[in-house]
Amino acid sequence: MFMMSYQLPEFVIERREDKCIKCRVCERQCAFEGHEYDEEFDRMFSYEDKCVGCQRCVVFCPTNALIIKPHPGDYRPNANWTREKLQDLKKQAETGGVILTGSGNDKGYRIYWDHLVLNASQVTNPSIDPLREPMELRTFLGRKPDSLQLEIDGDDVQITTELTPNVAIETPIVFTAMSYGAISYQAFKSLAMAASEFGTLFNTGEGGLPTELRKYGKNAIVQCASGRFGVDPEYLNCSAAVEIKIGQGAKPGIGGHLPGEKVSVWISETRMIPEGTDALSPAPQHDIYSIEDLSMLIYALKEATNYEKPVSVKIAAVHNAPAIASGMVRAGADIIALDGLRGGTGAAPKIIRDNVGIPIEMALASVDRRLREEGIRNKASILVAGGFRNSGDVLKAIALGADAVYIGSPALIAMGCTMCQKCYTGKCNWGICTQDPYLTKRLNPEIASQRLVNLLRGWSHEIKEMLGGMGINAIESVRGNRDHLRGVGLEDWELDVLGVKGAGEV
Amino acid sequence: MRRSRRILEPEKDMQACGLFGVMDRSGRRFDGNIAIDAMKNMKVRGNGLGGGFSVYGPYPHYKDQYAIHVMYEGGNTDAKNRVEDFLHKNFEVVNEEEVPTNSDANVINPPLVWRYFVNPEKKGEEKKISDDDYVVAKVMDINTKIDDAFVFSSGKDMAVFKGVGFPEDIAEFFMLDELYKGYIWTGHSRFPTNTPGWWGGAHPFCILDWTVVHNGEISSYGTNRRYLEMYGYYCTLFTDTEVIAYAVDLLMRRQKLPIEVVSRIFAPPMWYLIEHMDERRKQLYTTLRRVYGPLLVNGPFTFIVAHHGEMFGLTDRIRLRPITAGEKADFIFMSSEEASIRAVSPDLDRIWTPHGGEPIIGRLWEDEKKKKKEQLILEQTFR
Ligand code: SF4
Ligand code: SF4
């Protein structure tokens, strides 16, 4: 029996008829079929219930005839039963399913970056002008020894300490894991190109690395996740580093599911699974039920890569992250990747995305502190992900103790994404989170990678400006330097966890 | 779980200063006048809230004993009794005496200062640690556990004299011009921006026979401090100088790295310079930065570090604080200002201003000769 949907439209499509020239661009641009031309009436029609607010049509309309805005129509105001809660509930009553969503947590949990401020030099300590003096952002990811032993051997000074592999990056910003499959080939390639041009890294995510893109391997962190998609010796060895994915900030404790219809022949080749089959990533890694098991996988990967690559272990930021991280370092991880509450995703149950995990600021501060207390902070780098919006957030994270920052959403936004959260539908109008060739060809890797390089360049410049203001000319001197942070509008316990003083406290 | 109230760490000390160091590389000992006159010449670099000197070689009769110099704030005799009990329990005290002072000197609230020449008496488990580490631990105990007592210095055959006043006043108070002779003297005058004068807070800062005098404000303080904490150094005075002293102790005393290398850790060359080096040096410098990045000392600084046989000066990588070096026969000088060197030695053989990160090194000729080849290779590699 037909069941009518009781959903309210989320957006209003306002077409200013005096401007519209009926060119039908909006109709072609919208994969959600929000616009339609009717020949009989010689008129454009809108279907507001289909609009996701991605703004693609607005940007492409040649006459600026369109305005898309949140629908003002609402239920009786109710602080408890908000529009979103009612809509979600109705959707479930109509489908009986788990509500899916994409991108990151959009709830109002406190964003600590907005409650932390940075320092600058005045009088007692000169600030440095980054336009006139070198400012160094080069960062090394991987394990560092406690000390270096030097020996004079003949005419030479030799380092006799055994060194473990490190990867150098030119800015402490790395593209986070986004798999080919979750995002389009074009988007994936754009990330690879930009990372390689700027001298930083991208992360393949769990979907493998297409053979013809292995030339970007030097700039790739290759993931080994619970589905083990696309993992073979060449994949591991062409990389800069290997990452074991235990969890993801947007969906801690949850696996992944790439539906069969997205598994094209190319994706099937890269993931090494039959075409058209669902790509299922189990929730846990079924060979890791304990820290000893993790250690075995870490060393298996080190063996497979001849101890030439740092091995990262990525976890979602959860309540006891510090103890877990300490175990990971002892198990042999060279990099600890932490993904916070606001980390993005291609698809996740909304209830998980919005309710599980802790903010990255708190996880980072407590993990950094714990590793220092145990005297093992230098044994692993900390990479943090989940909710970075600008270079200020990045520098604050480094001052809290991160070695570098993973960015996902900012990279997507640079390529066109508008945070419409419909990644899980496979209809991304910006050609990013989709495998539909009609949509993906909208993204030109030459142009998209340039946008990404510009983003890295802009943020790096800004970081240099802020460092110069602090009188610091090398990023390592602000790493873990919480003296350069102060909290504003935070409670005592929050300041304690972050290990910073309140503004005005000296 | 009850939440305790937040304990704030004290604010870090900020200051600007004048520094001076002089060494007779033949090992001949001389009185304090050169250092005192040089410091006087730089009077404007201090504000009378702190001055001090270190001297190497003043106690030839007790050169095998640790010379523990202790100040008792306000002449607190209870503190003195507790320190003496403690020392007698943990050391063989070979001699003890009050440090002679001149009550006419222009100083404020001078404490009572005593010195003790001691040999460690380690018991049980303690026998496993070296004498040096034993002394460091005991000095920490006195500084943190006995109120109103503070150890000025604890090395063998060396001493630190410091306090609240201009350096020349402190020198007069301790009569440095007539009572002591040494082959190295360093001096310091302080311009603190925030701390009220406290005798223990003046420079030089000392652990064992290592002393540091320092000028500048370290922007990387938090990074440096938190790295050193991993190695068991807890900053209790919250001064940049303390951080430098601990870093020197960790790298030079414990990890045995020579100053040529340590100066490249504190003030490494820029990456663009490293890129232009030959492969071997490039790899060496890159590894140093990668491993010791947290000990890069950023922001303006100059310091002079001394220990037996060696004195060296260093300025930051972009040379935001001044240091000048001079040589006259066996003498080597280093100072915040050229004028103060010329004031005490007008007819110099050589005077130069080193680049940022390039150490000025004064070593006893006899040591220099002993490791000549090694030294040359180090110097070449880390030039
Ligand atoms: S793109 Fe703009 S001008 Fe073209 S049909 Fe749509 S609304 Fe009209
Ligand atoms: S990637 Fe595409 S579908 Fe996902 S939020 Fe961005 S614009 Fe929307």
**Over 80: is that where the pLDDT of A162 sits?**
yes
Under 8 Å between Cβ of A202 and A220: yes
Task: Classify burial at A87, counting beta carbons within 10 Å of its beta carbon; exposed 0-12, middle 13-18, buried 19 or more.
Answer: middle
Q: What is the pLDDT of residues B227-249, one digit of tens each?
A: 999 998 887 777 788 899 999 99
Q: What is the DSSP letter of A136?
A: B
Q: Which atom of ligand 1 is nearest the CA belonging to A44?
A: 5
CATH topology of domain A171-502: TIM Barrel (3.20.20)
- Average pLDDT rounded to a whole number, residues A147-151: 90
B178: number of Cβ within 10 Å: 10
The answer to whether B95 and B158 are in contact (CB under 8 A) is no
Opening angle at CA A326, ends A173 and B262, nearest 5: 65
Q: Is residue A170 pLDDT above 70, yes or no? A: yes
Mean pLDDT of A297-307: 97
pLDDT of residue B11 exceeding 70: no
Mutant choice from A483, A498, A501 vs B, greatest count of B C-beta within 10 A: A483
CA pair distance A101, B265, nearest whole angstrom: 49
Task: Answer yes or no: are the C-beta atoms of A244 and A261 closer than 8 Å.
Answer: no
At residue A505 the predicted structure's pLDDT band, cuts being 50, 70 and 90, is confident
**CA nearest ligand 2 atom 8, residue:** A420
Q: Please tell me the distance from the alpha carbon of residue B48 to that of residue B52, in angstroms, as a whole number.
A: 11
Distance A47 CA to ligand 1 centre (A): 14
**B235 annotated active-site:** no
Tally Cβ neighbours within 10 Å of residue B338: 18
- Give the separation between CA B282 and CA B362, rounded to whole angstroms: 27
Residue A410 near chain B (CB below 8 Å): no
Q: Which amino acid is at A168?
A: A
Secondary structure class of A339 (helix, strand, coil):
strand
What is the C-alpha separation between A229 and A246, in angstroms, rounded? 14
How remote is the CA of residue A26 from the centroid of ligand 1, in Å? Answer: 5
Does B19-382 carry CATH code 3.50.50.60? no
The yes-or-no verdict on residue B304 having pLDDT over 90 is yes
Give the start-end residues of each E strand in B217-352. Answer: 301-307, 310-315, 324-328, 331-335, 350-352
Sort strands A241-245 and A220-224 into parallel, antiparallel or unpaired.
parallel
Which residues are CB-neighbours of B87 under 8 A, at least 6 positions away?
Answer: B68, B93, B116, B118
Residue B126, classified by CB atoms within 10 Å of its CB into exposed (0-12), middle (13-18) or buried (19+), is middle
Residue spans per domain, chain A: 11-97, 171-502
What pLDDT does residue B108 have? 82
Is the C-beta atom of A433 inside 6 A of ligand 2?
yes
Find the length of chain B.
Answer: 383
Three-state DSSP class for residue A430: coil
Residues 423-442, chain A, touching B (beta carbon < 8 A): none
Find the angle CA(A355)-CA(A359)-CA(A365) to the nearest 5 degrees. Answer: 150
* CA–CA dist B170, B177 (Å, integer): 11
Q: Is the CB of A59 under 6 A from ligand 2?
A: no
Name the closest residue on chain A to residue B284, using Cα atoms: A159
| Residue in A316, A263, A285, A314 with CA at minimum distance from that of residue A104 | A316
DSSP-derived 3-state class of residue B16: strand
Which of A212-226, A228-242, B82-96, B139-153 is the least confident region? B139-153
Predicted confidence at residue A236, as pLDDT, reads: 97
CB contact under 8 A, B271 and A136: yes
Q: Which pLDDT band, with edges at 50, 70 and 90, does B255 fall under? A: very high
Instruction: Answer whether A380 contacts ligand 2 (Cβ < 6 A).
Output: no
pLDDT band at A503 (very low <50, low <70, confident <90, very high): very high
* pLDDT tens per residue across span A201-215: 999 999 999 999 999
Q: Which of the residue ranges A131-140, A323-332, A366-375, B36-45 would you say has the lowest mean pLDDT?
A: B36-45
- What share of chain B has pLDDT > 90, as a percent? 68
State ipTM. Answer: 0.89
Pick the atom of ligand 2 nearest to A427's CA. Answer: 3
Cβ-contact B39, B67 below 8 angstroms: no
Q: Which of B225, B226, B271 to mutate to test the interface with A (most CBs of A within 10 A)?
A: B226
Q: Per-residue b/e over B149-171, b at no fewer than 16 CB within 10 Å?
A: bbbbbbbbbbbbbbbbbbbbbbb
**Alpha carbon of A37 to ligand 1 centroid (Å):** 10
Residues B219, A166: C-beta atoms closer than 8 Å: no
Nearest in space to A17 (alpha carbons), one of A66, A52, A77: A66
Distance from CA of B374 to the nearest CA of A (A): 7
Helices assigned H by DSSP within A272-417:
291-304, 321-330, 350-355, 360-373, 391-400, 409-415
Output the DSSP codes for B294-326: GG---SSEEEEEEETTEEEEEE-TT--S--EEE
Indicate if ligand 2 lies below 6 Å from the C-beta of A202: no
Residues of chain A with pLDDT > 90, as a percent, come to 90
Cis preceding linkage at B204, omega within 30: yes
Q: What is the pLDDT of residue B2?
A: 55
Confidence of residue B190 (pLDDT cuts 50, 70, 90): confident
Q: Taking Cα atoms as reference points, which of A425, A451, A398 lies closest to residue B223?
A: A398
The reply to whether A144 touches chain B by the CB within 8 Å rule is yes
In this structure, how many other beta carbons lie within 10 angstroms of the beta carbon of residue A464? 24
Answer yes or no: do B222 and A482 touch at CB < 8 A: yes
**Cross-chain CB nearest to B377 (options A124, A144, A157):** A157
Half-sphere exposure of B276 (CA within 13 A, CB side): 4
Which residue is closest in CA terms to ligand 1's atom 4?
A23
Amino acid at B98: E
Closest among A65, A84, A88, A116 to A360, alpha carbons compared: A116
Taking only the tens place, the pLDDT of each residue in A65-84 is 999 999 999 999 999 999 99
Pairing of strands A404-407, A173-175: parallel
Over residues B284-306, the mean pLDDT reads: 94
| CATH 3.30.70.20, domain A11-97, yes or no | yes
- How many CB atoms lie under 10 A from the CB of residue B197? 18
Which residues 283-312 in chain A show a CB within 8 A of chain B? Answer: none
Q: How far, in Å, from the CA of A80 to the mean position of ligand 2?
A: 29
Residue type, A71: H
User: What would the pLDDT profile of A101-141 be if each residue is shown by its tens digit?
Assistant: 999 999 999 999 999 999 998 887 889 999 999 999 999 99
Which pLDDT value is given to residue B6?
64
Q: What is the pLDDT of residues A440-488, one digit of tens each?
A: 999 999 999 999 999 999 999 999 999 999 999 999 999 999 999 999 9
Distances (CA, A) of A306 to A160, A233, A237: 20, 11, 9
Residue B173 pLDDT: 96
What pLDDT, on a 0 to 100 scale, did the predictor assign at position A12? 97
Summarize the confidence of residues B69-97 as an average pLDDT: 94
Give SS3 for A340. Answer: coil
Q: pLDDT (tens digit, 9 = 90+) per residue, A242-271?
A: 999 999 999 999 988 888 888 999 999 999
* Chain B contact for A465 (CB, 8 A cutoff): no
Question: For chain A, percent helix, then strand, then coil, each to nearest 5?
Answer: 35, 20, 45
Tokens 């947290």, located at residue: B294
Please report, rounded to a whole number, the percentage of residues in chain B having pLDDT higher than 70.
94
Residue B107: band (very low, low, confident or very high) from pLDDT cuts 50, 70, 90: confident
- Counting one residue from chain A and one from chain B, the pairs whose CB atoms sit within 8 A come to 123
Q: How far is CA B44 from CA A269, A332, B340, B349, in A?
A: 75, 55, 12, 27
In a 3-state reduction of DSSP, which class is residue A126?
Answer: coil
- A59 CB within 6 A, ligand 1: no
State the pLDDT at residue B5.
60
CA distance B353 to B349: 14
Residues in A touching B219 (Cβ below 8 Å): 121, 125, 470-472, 477, 484
Give the mean pLDDT of A32-44.
Answer: 96
Does the CB atom of residue A15 touch ligand 1 within 6 A? yes
Pairing type for strands A279-281 and B15-24 reads unpaired
Kindly indicate the confidence band of residue B14, based on its pLDDT and cuts at 50, 70 and 90. low
Question: Cβ(A65) to ligand 1 under 6 A?
Answer: yes
Angle between helices A445-470 and A185-198 (to 10 degrees): 40
Identify which of A126, A155, A159 has the shortest CB distance to residue B320.
Answer: A126
